[in-house]
Structure 1
């Protein structure tokens, strides 16, 4: 029964299930709708199962169809891993490595990482990308990067993940900003007239990364931490920033930490996680880079934790 079933049929099945229609799957696959319909008809005949209910305006997966789609997803993942292994064996030694990190990642860790990388792997080229939220995990899922470091709430479908460090977020404003001169905790009414600088993805329709922490009715959206930092430091608004990025500004008094009623007494933290494709075969250079960059990230964000970990291993 399964001898005639092809990987292409299973990919077509998944495309229809994800697009919600034969026409949508045809556009996604770059094929004509008739070819997609014929492929599904042939698959149903080979399996002797009805995979879609076609009685309505759009096809809907049957109970059997849902089970077959789940199995097809696993088979596709295994095939992708096989293709990646074969490609890796053909390439032999790694010649390049592409990595993507979230904007919350401490950029101060990238310089020592790059120096170590150049010393350890002088013949391997390095490409570093920075993005935000689910754009980071999409980078990895779409194979534009071998692996990445994302925030915990990014879309991690089809990816493995491992926690690295917790980033503490602090609400800050420039010392001359009206909010910085407030005494005590600031309630919602106190934020009504203040512009909040928030970080969002590059896409126009993307959600902002601070979506759970938007308290001001007036917002400005930027797409990188450097711009957000500069606007806040210039007194144009307030916002939540990674503590490691504004540590020196707070010590020097250029920025002031705001106490917000909405946060309460517990500090806001967001975890950074290492992500890579499920079933991906990573070479020795990629594995070394994962370990080294994770160590440097932890050292910058949570120096006490890093020191304890180093002491424990020595």
Structure 2
């Protein structure tokens, strides 16, 4: 029995985001449209995918089984669409990407080398930015693709592709920082110490007034933390790659935190073969 991509997408997004309303915002549809699409999928399959008795819908046992298959179908559909573009479209001469530092290239995967081998004539420009700066750079056409931690909402001008890639954020301090000697009690003492964070982050909740230093990128945040300026939330992969043995990860309840990523592009600019290669490599 054929299932519409729209119903599968509505189901997958609702499962990922935990609510029909959040899925509707992600898909730029009404909540009733998403609810109807999921109901049609349930009717086609003959099973209930969500338990709707609580405030937020919860996947049933059948829903958890169906979810993996639905994701596979959507991924195969996307690969087929991308293949059609590669076969028909000319290769773009230049590609600009802007990535958050939450993503760190795995040397074992040889991503840059494989791109250079597959597209030897394409000029690649790599930019670093964080948060909404990534969105602004892509929306302004300064970059073709952007990668950033998953957002609940995106500007109407942008399309977001969820990636399988995820990063982990952990809390770090310098080895000589007072928090380094407090063990698990550090979680209650964070607010007493200066926090070093990204300028793009808006959450001041855990840091007392006047106890926040900011920087525009994670590398500078890490350097401040290494110098003992304060504690910082940092991507573990970034620390593993660039730390000089001067940071200690605090083992606190709820940490490290998993951060999922999205790849964004403009709606009015269909990706060429080189851009689609990156979507495949990161997906």
- Alignment partner, residue 183 of structure 2: 183
Residues 103, 266 of structure 1: alpha-carbon distance in 2 compared, 3 angstrom cutoff: closer
1:113-161 Cα deviation digits (max 9, x unpaired): 3222221111111111111101101111221111211221275212221
Q: 1:159-174 counterparts in 2 under 5 A?
A: 159-164=158-163, 165-174=165-174
Number of positions where the alignment pairs a residue of Structure 1 with one of Structure 2? 192
- Alignment partner, residue 143 of structure 1: 141
Q: 1:107-118 counterparts in 2 under 5 A?
A: 107=105, 112-118=110-116
Give yes or no for contact 1:133–1:153 (8 Å, CA) kept in 2: no
Residues 110, 124 of structure 1: alpha-carbon distance in 2 compared, 3 angstrom cutoff: farther
Give yes or no for contact 2:172–2:250 (8 Å, CA) kept in 1: yes
What's the Cα RMSD here? 2.9
From 223, 236, 244, the equivalent of 1:243 is: 236
SS of residue paired to 1:288: helix
SS of residue paired to 1:185: helix
Residues 110, 182 of structure 1: alpha-carbon distance in 2 compared, 3 angstrom cutoff: same
Larger displacement relative to structure 2 (191-200 or 93-102): 191-200
Give yes or no for contact 1:200–1:221 (8 Å, CA) kept in 2: yes
Between the aligned partners of 1:111 and 1:223, the Cα distance in structure 2 is 28
Asked if 1:220 is matched to 2:213, the reply is: yes
Give yes or no for contact 1:170–1:241 (8 Å, CA) kept in 2: yes
From 268, 271, 285, the equivalent of 2:257 is: 268
Shift of 1:179: 0.4
SS of residue paired to 1:114: helix
Residues 288, 248 of structure 1: alpha-carbon distance in 2 compared, 3 angstrom cutoff: closer
Between the aligned partners of 1:253 and 1:266, the Cα distance in structure 2 is 20
Between the aligned partners of 1:109 and 1:145, the Cα distance in structure 2 is 24
Give yes or no for contact 2:90–2:273 (8 Å, CA) kept in 1: no
Shift of 1:276: 1.5
SS of residue paired to 2:171: strand
Residues 136, 244 of structure 1: alpha-carbon distance in 2 compared, 3 angstrom cutoff: same
Q: 1:57-136 counterparts in 2 under 5 A?
A: 92-107=90-105, 112-136=110-134
TM-score normalised by L of structure 2:
0.60
Give yes or no for contact 1:140–1:148 (8 Å, CA) kept in 2: yes
Shift of 1:248: 6.1
Shift of 1:110: 11
Q: Which runs of 5+ in 2 are unaligned?
A: 1-88
TM-score normalised by L of structure 1:
0.54
Give yes or no for contact 1:137–1:155 (8 Å, CA) kept in 2: no
Give yes or no for contact 1:96–1:126 (8 Å, CA) kept in 2: yes
- Alignment partner, residue 195 of structure 1: 194
Shift of 1:101: 0.8
SS of residue paired to 1:220: strand
Give yes or no for contact 2:90–2:272 (8 Å, CA) kept in 1: no
Give yes or no for contact 1:196–1:238 (8 Å, CA) kept in 2: yes
Q: Which runs of 5+ in 1 are unaligned?
A: 1-90, 202-207, 296-314
From 252, 260, 275, the equivalent of 1:286 is: 275
- Alignment partner, residue 28 of structure 2: none
